[in-house]
Amino acid sequence: MEPILKVEDINVYYGSIHAIKGVSFEVNQGEIVTLIGANGAGKSTTLNTISGLLHSKTGSVTFLGEDLGRVPCHKIVSKGLALVPEGRRVFLQMTVQENLEMGAFTQGGKSVDADLERVYAQFPRLKERCNQVAGTLSGGEQQMLAMGRALMSHPKLLMLDEPSMGLAPILVEQIFDIIRELHKAGTTILLVEQNAQAALSVADRGYVLETGKVVTTGTGHELLESPTIKKAYLGG
């Protein structure tokens, strides 16, 4: 199968710090792929590079056969690639509905109402609070809003950066249920997580990052069973 996203040998620097050292991986149509690793392993940096917020010195990011290296950040989303950033970054002073409308910024005017209905159906909680300012939502609701906002752009690939961060265990479960549902509905997902257990249990395949390099790869199941992974990330 032709991968929809292909990352080849990217190297990213923060000034003199070499954060990503030749990372390569790919995501196939309909898969959930996860990048796991400890703090500072380069997971978020990788996602930010794919979405154009950061730039790689070498290599390439190819999405649906198109090289994204020259595409400015604000054009990426209209190609079908949406990122739910780390820390959610919803627009706190705008209402829930306005946040969702921003997600549809690149969409034509007509479909927005239908998309709002679709996202509200997926997240009934957001519909209840549609006129509330996002800053007054709880952390879990903000995460749902960030995901809903990304879904407004009809992404062909949805990238989630630490969706479970700072959430209570029950909410983490809810978020992962949503990820499973999205997957069932056919969305391709690239998931970055510190919560390796949860991430690997939903993922088709996973890559383990350590200090800017891919050290292991395998199916979600294989990685869950692997003794070294267990020891390093699963606390056992």
Partner 1 sequence: MTFLNFLISGISLGSIYAIIALGYTMVYGIAKMLNFAHGDVIMVGAYICFYAVSRFNLPPLVGVILAMIVCTVLGMVVERLAYKPLRQAPSLAVLITAIGVSYFLQNTALLLWSSNPKVFPSFFVSGSGGTGVELFGGQLKISYVTLFTIIICVIIMLALTWFTGKTKMGKAMRACSEDKGAAQLMGINVDATISMTFAIGSGLAAIAGVLLCSAYPTLVPTTGSMPGIKAFTAAVFGGIGSIPGAFLGGLLLGIIEIFAKAYISTQLSDAVVFAVLIIVLLVKPAGLLGKQIREKV
Residues that bind partner 1 (CB under 8 A): 51-53, 73-78, 82-83, 85, 89-94, 98, 101-103, 105-106, 135, 138-139, 142, 149, 153, 166
CA nearest to 82, candidates 98, 105, 59: 105
Q: How far is the CB of 22 from partner 1 (least distance, A)?
A: 25
Q: How far is the CB of 184 from partner 1 (least distance, A)?
A: 25
Q: How far is the CB of 86 from partner 1 (least distance, A)?
A: 11
State which residue, 57 or 75, has the beta carbon closest to partner 1. 75
State which residue, 51 or 188, has the beta carbon closest to partner 1. 51
State which residue, 100 or 229, has the beta carbon closest to partner 1. 100
Helix axes of 139-151 and 169-184: crossing angle, nearest 10 degrees: 10
Q: Which residues pair with 137 in a beta bridge?
A: none
Q: How far is the CB of 27 from partner 1 (least distance, A)?
A: 18
Q: How far is the CB of 229 from partner 1 (least distance, A)?
A: 29
State which residue, 102 or 215, has the beta carbon closest to partner 1. 102
State which residue, 51 or 56, has the beta carbon closest to partner 1. 51
Q: How far is the CB of 152 from partner 1 (least distance, A)?
A: 9
- Give dist(CA 194, CA 185) in Å, integer: 25
- Asked if residue 24 lies in contact with residue 217, where contact means CB atoms within 8 angstroms, the answer is no
Burial degree of 215 (CB within 10 A; 0-12, 13-18, 19+): middle
State which residue, 47 or 179, has the beta carbon closest to partner 1. 47
